[in-house]
Structure 1
Amino acid sequence: MTKIISKFEHLPNELLLDILGYCRPRDLFISLFNLNHRLNTLIYSQSINIDLGNALPKYLLDVYYKSVLYNAREQIHCLRLSDTYGRMKRFVINNKQLEINFEIRKNILNQVKYLILWDPIMTSLHEILNYANNLEYLHVTSIGTARQTPNFSDRLLKRLFEMKTLKRLYLALHDSIIFNTDIDINTSVVHLTLNGCYMQHLAPLLRRLPNIQKLNIMCYNRPNLYSVNPENFDYSLYDGLTDCVPYLTHLVLHITHTPFFEIKILLQQLSKLIKLSFSSLLIDDYSNGLNWENIIENHLPNLQKFSLFINEAQIPTRTQIDLIKMIQSFSSPFWHRWPVVIEYYIDSISKKHLMLYTLPSQKDSIRTYLYGVQTQTTKQIFDDDYLNCNKVVKDLDYKKVYELHFTLHSNPPSNILLPNRIYTNLKSLSFSSELNDSGSYDADIILNDLKKIFSTSVLGKIKRIYLYNRIYPINFLSKLLNLLPNVQSLRIDASLFSISTVLTRITSLTIDFNSNVKYKSTDILRQMGTFLPNIRYLYFELKDAQDIYIFLIYCLRKLEHLLDIHMTLHELNVRIDQQAFMSWFNEHKLLNGLNNKVQVEFGGDDNRLHISL
């Protein structure tokens, strides 16, 4: 007779290990740890990923400090920290604010292999790097100019290049990294993503990365800082670069205000490239297909994948654009494997915007216009036989597009709509408005046109709507929400907030109260409580610190599913008085029966507030 397994601990080790791999760290060390020696042994064999970022409620953060980190200290391989509300700063300060002592925290950092840091204050980042001596992967994302990045980024790159175990590095800072010549050669880094480097520092940087295999980098040149041309250019900058990066096969290069001839000089030195993705904010000579064909055929013999994206949004009025000539330069048989699309918008006043890109599109977010875009594509030039045999490829042309951003203008040059395309993974629609009058468009016409561009199934997949600026057609928001039945997240200016239908699917709401247009806070709060019953995440962008109290009193009482409230003050010199707020909040908790799980965190220079419930 087959033995019936009726208890969890009767399962074999192989199954238990598989089950434990799906458990959260707090489940392992609060629910299962110390039940018996066997379970402890299996738990200790797990590699643990710890996320102490903003998504973790404050009361659970305290639970991790008290009951999880100490017991898991020898097996934490991946750690995520955030400084938006000072969590990262407190983690590296030698004091007794936390439930786990400083030596244990240092030991955890010393053995972590993967470290993800969100919005760090640079002083905190440098402190962490003093103890994280065995990193293989470091990911740093900074989101605001208040994070002090430029003051310390020169020391940062030097420190990172001294780390001999680091293999993958991701730096997304809000300004260009400062490069100094005293930076050492690093032989361990094989993947580098750097969201900010001056163009003149790219070659010196590469010379210090002899084993680099994949590079994703944004390079800046300040416009009109100085004139660079083939006659005065220092060609020695790139001499011999081929021998310095023998393993570089994947390059994603974003540039601004860099002349084409310099990019040509660079690519001539990178003959081992297998994959090249290039984007520019200037048309210049980048929009000539013959130039790219010459480089690829003569200097990049191993290239298998190529992506081009040119996006100049502010074309001078004196610049003449010949779309036919431009598209014909990409019409040779060479371009059959990488078809090209041109989208050109020009209004009657001064607006000229051109995008040129290869298919399939490699961008996850695209800014365009609902009306008036002239479109050209080499698919109209190639043979029908080629198009037919590539039908599957056509269906994947916009597979990576996650968000579309439309701009509405008062006087579009025509009512021509964007072509109907297949967006298999589109999840977000955002709108910017340059309208002066809400009567410039009819909301019903716009919505009908959206239905022409997108299939019903695509509209049903939209999860997020973002409306920037203040002036939109009358009832645009409410009608848009009716068109998109599965929206879960909404961002909007306070003056536009007008909802009259119950929307149970929306769980995340961001409201910007910074405009000068008058609004009634009580009306907005009433609509939230009546028509958005399932709100879990609230984000308020405010000007007046006193508004915090008004909104909190209502939201904490009426929104029964609320989990998180984030409030940010954007006015200069407007700050939250922590002592006064905590005195009021503690009294409010007591009077309204809120439990101890409801906690507060402050961030920035006392201009951010986070309440987790």
Structure 2
Amino acid sequence: MSFIDLDRCFQHLNLRFTRIVYDTYLYIDFSSIPKIQFENYFVKSNVLNDYCRQVRLAKLGDWGLKYFHRSIDIEKFVHLRSIKLECFDEETFDDFTQILLKLSHMKCLSSIHIEFAPVLDLPTETLNVLKSLLSLSNLKTYILNNCRCPIIPEKNENKSNIEKLRLCLRSLSDFSVLSQCVPKIKSLSMNLRYNDNFQSSRYPVTLHELPWLQTLEIRLKDTSFDEFEEVLKQLSNLKKLSFTSTSIDYINGQRWQHLLSCLPVLKVFRFNVYLHGLSESLINLQVMCSSFQNNF
């Protein structure tokens, strides 16, 4: 819905359009509206009160977060199904967190997509609210893009209905706990980021059964091939696998060939390894990959 259409509607300059708006669902990209116009139409006149029940999808830019915390009650969008947020600045953390708290009470939400600046370190309060959103009863899609801070699930967490998920974890041990919380997951993208305060489990990583998981995208660095192999063998229903690492240990054609043979329905395999600061004498990709006979 463009700003011009909104202007005509809010000023009642096009009665036919206004009548259609009252009878249909709206997607409003608030981030595309000029800031001064946003303040005039949405903050000062508060015209959204007349249309909030029609809004099904919304997108909020970084600068608009404070308005939806301080001037506009997003909880009035009682039928909101999908929302996309942008969090690029530490100065918006408080407003961003308060909006997340409101979203955690919106039972109709089925999709949350949040874009972060890659360099942001989120405060603990924000991370806790992000984790709580996993339990929203109708949430099917939950995307935390470029989030570098691990969302740490807890054992015995309430079961989620999420089918598509992207987030950051500390390790495959966290994935084990997460698997208990998302039994209906179909597509999972995760970035594993160890930190100095975390100790990986010495015990085998056992996943809760994930019969619907068909697409896995994983990015890791400090995880051993042994541990990764152990986990992947438990996901026999995978059809798409995308793997990214910065460790030379994963360039092993024979081992990958054996591992992929344990995934009988796999159709798509993408493999990326980024190596920096290694002597060319240590790397011979032709030799390393020569035994890789699978058709991927």
- TM norm structure 1: 0.43
- In 2, Cα distance between equivalents of 1:318 and 1:277: 26
- 1:88 deviates by 0.6
Within 2, Cα distance between the matches of 1:308 and 1:130? 38
Query: What is the Cα deviation at residue 67 of structure 1?
Result: 6.9
Q: Which amino acid aligns with 1:288?
A: N
Give 1:420-439 correspondences, 5 Å limit: none
Residue 30 of structure 1 corresponds to which residue in structure 2? 8
1:307 corresponding residue in structure 2? 270
The answer on 1:135 being equivalent to 2:119 is: no
* 1:106 paired residue number: 75
Distance 1:307 1:138, change over 3 A: same
Cα-Cα RMSD: 2.9
Distance 2:192 2:137 in 1: 25
Partner letter of residue 128 of structure 1?
I
> 2:148 and 2:220 mapped to 1: Cα distance?
14
1:116 aligns with 2:84: yes
Question: What is the alpha-carbon distance in structure 2 between the residues aligned to residue 153 and residue 32 of structure 1?
Answer: 35
Structure 2 Cα separation of the partners of residues 148 and 89 of structure 1 = 19
For each residue in 1:326-372, what CA deviation from the matched residue of structure 2 results, as whole angstroms up to 9, or x when unmatched? 13122x3x2xx32xxxxxxxxxxxxxxxxxxxxxxxxxxxxxxxxxx
Contact 2:87–2:96 (CA under 8 A) maintained in structure 1 = no
C-alpha distance in structure 2 between counterparts of 1:289 and 1:167, whole Å: 36
2:257 corresponds in structure 1 to 293
- In the TM superposition, residue 156 of structure 1 has moved relative to its aligned partner by 2.3
Alpha-carbon offset, residue 283 of structure 1: 1.4
- The Cα of 1:148 is off from its aligned counterpart by 5.4
SS in 1 for 2:117: coil
The SS at the match of 2:37 is: helix
- Note the residue ranges of structure 1 that are not aligned, 5 or more in a row: 1-22, 339-613
The aligned amino acid for 1:201 is D
1:186 and 2:159 aligned: yes
Query: 1:202 and 2:175 equivalent?
Result: yes
Give me the whole-angstrom Cα distance separating, in 1, the residues matched to 2:48 and 2:10: 15
**1:138 is paired with a residue of what secondary structure?**
strand
CA shift, 1:92, in A, is: 1.1
In structure 1, how many angstroms separate the alpha carbons of the residues matched to 2:17 and 2:280? Answer: 74
How far apart are the structure 2 equivalents of 1:43 and 1:182? Answer: 45
User: CA, structure 1 residues 156+312, in 2 after alignment: closer, same or farther (shift >3 Å)?
Assistant: farther
CA distance in 2, matches of 1:246, 1:31: 48
Larger RCO of the pair (alpha carbons < 8 Å, separation 6+): 2
**Aligned ranges 1:581-592 → 2 under 5 Å:** none
Q: Give me the whole-angstrom Cα distance separating, in 2, the residues matched to 1:148 and 1:279.
A: 22
Q: Deviations over 1:77-102 (max 9, x none)?
A: 1111133x3x2123212xxxx5xxx4
CA distance in 2, matches of 1:69, 1:269: 49
Shift of 1:26: 4.2
1:353-364 equivalences in 2 (<5 Å): none
Paired letter, 2:75: K
* Pairing 1:278–2:278 present: no
Which residue is equivalent to 2:291? 329
5 Å matches for 1:438-449? none
Structure 1: distance between partners of 2:149 and 2:252? 29
Equivalent residue, structure 1, for 2:192:
219
CA contact (8 A) 2:135 2:160 kept: no
Measured after TM superposition, the shift of residue 130 of structure 1 is 3.3
Separation of aligned partners in 2, 1:182 and 1:154 = 17
CA contact (8 A) 1:119 1:144 kept: no
Q: Distance in 2 between matches of 1:32 and 1:175?
A: 40
Aligned-partner residue type, residue 322 of structure 1: N
Contact 1:264/1:295, CA 8 A, preserved across alignment: yes
2:221 maps to a residue whose letter is T
Q: Partners in 2 of 1:244 and 1:116 — Cα distance?
A: 30
Matched, 1:234 2:203: yes
What residue number does 1:403 align with? none
Matches within 5 A, 1:425-504: none
Output the CA distance in 2 between the equivalents of 1:144 and 1:273: 29
Give the deviation of 1:28 after TM superposition.
4.6
For residue 244 of structure 1, what is the aligned residue in structure 2? 209
Query: What is the correspondence of 1:555-570 to structure 2 with a 5 Å cutoff?
Result: none
> Structure 1 residues 182 and 25, CA, compared in 2 at 3 Å: closer, same or farther?
farther
Measured in 2, the distance between the counterparts of 1:233 and 1:222 equals 16
| Structure 1 counterpart of 2:26, from 38, 48, 51 | 48
- For normalisation by structure 2, the TM-score amounts to 0.85
Q: Work out the CA distance in 1 between the residues paired with 2:253 and 2:100.
A: 45
Q: Distance in 1 between matches of 2:99 and 2:80?
A: 11
C-alpha distance 29-154 of structure 1, shift in aligned 2 (>3 A): closer
Deviations 1:263-309 (A, max 9, x none): 1001110001011111111110x211111111111x21111111111
- Determine which structure has more spread, i.e. the larger CA radius of gyration: 1
Q: Tell me if 1:158 matches 2:131.
A: yes
The answer to whether the 8 A contact 1:33-1:40 is kept is no
Post-superposition Cα deviations, 1:137-157, rounded to whole Å, max 9, x if no partner, equal: 111122165x55142244124
Per-residue CA distance 1:360-408 (angstroms, 9 max, x = gap): xxxxxxxxxxxxxxxxxxxxxxxxxxxxxxxxxxxxxxxxxxxxxxxxx
Tell me how far 1:247 sits from its aligned partner: 0.7
In structure 2, the gaps of 5 or more residues are: none
1:71 to 2:43 alignment:
no
Q: Deviations over 1:487-520 (max 9, x none)?
A: xxxxxxxxxxxxxxxxxxxxxxxxxxxxxxxxxx
Give SS of 1:329's match: coil
For residue 81 of structure 1, what is the amino acid of its counterpart? Answer: L
Paired with 1:107 and 1:301, the residues of 2 have a C-alpha distance of: 48
Match of 1:450 in 2: none
Aligned residues of 2:212 and 2:237 also touching (Cα < 8 A): yes
Shift of 1:211: 0.4
For residues 57-114 of structure 1, give each alpha carbon's deviation from its aligned partner in whole angstroms, at most 9, with x where no partner exists.
212212441375233222111111133x3x2123212xxxx5xxx45x4302x33111
Paired residue secondary structure (1:46): coil
Matched-pair identity in %: 24
Q: Map 1:74-89; keep pairs closer than 5 Å.
A: 74-83=53-62, 85=63, 87-89=64-66
